């Protein structure tokens, strides 16, 4: 991620936290609301997502000119600043062996 203007706030989760983030479909998305702690969730969702408290997010703020390399299988959520902001992303396909490992680790 290259921040071209403004700021972006990110929560980064290591691959070992995937089991707490409720991955869905192809393990590319999470059912968990972004930037939500268990305490912030409505009571009916606290039980559903109770495991998120065991996750260990790393909070990062990128400013203009900052570059972040996000390794494969790291979960993240991104929030832009109130002022105008823009990031540039480069996406690569995950190697089939890493896809298999990620799926196995979540089982």
Q: How much of the chain, in percent, has pLDDT values that exceed 70?
A: 81
Would you say residue 61 has pLDDT above 90?
yes
Would you say residue 105 has pLDDT above 70?
no
Q: 80: pLDDT confidence band, cut at 50, 70 and 90?
A: confident
Would you say residue 87 has pLDDT above 80?
yes
Lowest-confidence segment of 11-15, 71-75, 86-90 by average pLDDT? 71-75
pLDDT at residue 25, rounded to an integer: 63
As beta bridge partners, residue 102 has none
């Amino acid at each position: 991620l290259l921040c071209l203007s403004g700021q972006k706030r990110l929560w980064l989760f290591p691959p070992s936290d995937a089991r707490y983030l409720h991955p869905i479909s192809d393990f590319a998305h999470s059912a968990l609301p972004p930037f939500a702690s268990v305490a912030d969730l409505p009571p009916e969702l606290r039980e559903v997502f109770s495991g998120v408290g065991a996750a260990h997010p790393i909070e990062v703020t990128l400013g203009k000119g900052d570059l972040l390399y996000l390794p494969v299988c790291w979960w993240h959520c991104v929030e832009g600043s109130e002022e105008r902001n823009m990031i540039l992303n480069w996406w690569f396909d995950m190697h089939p062996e890493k896809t298999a490992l990620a799926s196995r680790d979540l089982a």
